[in-house]
Amino acid sequence: GAVVSQHPSRVICKSGTSVKIECRSLDFQATTMFWYRQFPKQSLMLMATSNEGSKATYEQGVEKDKFLINHASLTLSTLTVTSAHPEDSSFYICSASKAGITDTQYFGPGTRLTVL
Amino acid sequence: AQRVTQPEKLLSVFKGAPVELKCNYSYSGSPELFWYVQYSRQRLQLLLRHISRESIKGFTADLNKGETSFHLKKPFAQEEDSAMYYCALSGYGGATNKLIFGTGTLLAVQP
């Protein structure tokens, strides 16, 4: 298999607080992890690409100081939404690709963030 | 600009009818195209990719470079095919493993 988990599955927070979302590859080593954002009834938009042990590469228009990504190990990447605001409310999805097999991404179940 | 277009938000067919989910792309290099599927309350998963030229669950997709299309087809739809289908393009931004997704088509197969 190739299972990717995300935690939490759902989080509600107050405006101004920070929220951390974890993405784990459970049964394989993920050299690269990706973070996506999905608005209701819209497509997945790539936010950043994260390689283990190096800084994440952010897509144009994504604030790196707002969305902090850490990929400290081959099985874990975290996305921290800092000073969250209601407009950050969205569905965040991570994916991971196996070492040496870069053309397939395995997706997590997503995290629903609601900022009040 | 690199782009994936899925013109239909919703496609409703009856069981046993043929299905064609349209996907067009815009890409300056040699793209890799994929179809991902998301069943109700499940995560996104890969259905098929053009380089494999395989048939998965009865679905096939042929890359037509002349028409820049990668339409997904199935001759006889089943109720369990009802799901959200996303066409995706790899290779944009100079990185072969980054994906850009279309907006998705919801396939509803009626009994």
- For an interface test with A, the pick among B2, B98, B103 (most A C-beta atoms closer than 10 Å) comes out as B98
Contact between B98 and A102 using a beta-carbon 8 Å cutoff: no
Count the Cβ atoms, other than its own, within 10 Å of residue A115.
20
Which chain A residues contact residue B51 at CB under 8 A?
Answer: 103
Q: Check CB contact under 8 Å for B44 and A34.
A: no
Task: Please give the pLDDT value at position B93.
Answer: 56
Q: Does the pLDDT of residue A1 top 60, yes or no?
A: yes
Whether residue A4 contacts residue A28, with contact meaning beta carbons closer than 8 Å, is answered with: no
Asked if pLDDT for residue B92 goes beyond 80, the answer is no
Question: Can you say whether the dihedral through the CA atoms of B70, B72, B83, B51 is positive or negative?
Answer: negative
DSSP state of B42: S
pLDDT of residue B38: 93
Closest partner CB to B43 (pick from A43, A46, A109) = A109
Give the residue-averaged pLDDT of B20-45.
91
Is A44 in contact with B98 (Cβ distance < 8 A)? Answer: no
pLDDT at A102: 64
Average pLDDT, integer, range B65-79: 95
Sole residue written with tokens 């299972």: A3
- pLDDT of A40-98, one tens digit each? 778 899 999 988 888 899 999 999 999 999 988 889 999 999 999 999 999 999 999 88
Q: Phi first, then psi: what are they for B87, rounded to 5°?
A: -90, 140
DSSP chain A: ---EEEE-SEEEE-TT--EEEEEEESSS-EEEEEEEEE-TTS-EEEEEEEETTSPPEEPTT--TTTEEEEEEETTEEEEEE-S--GGG-EEEEEEEEETTEEEEEEE---EEEEE-
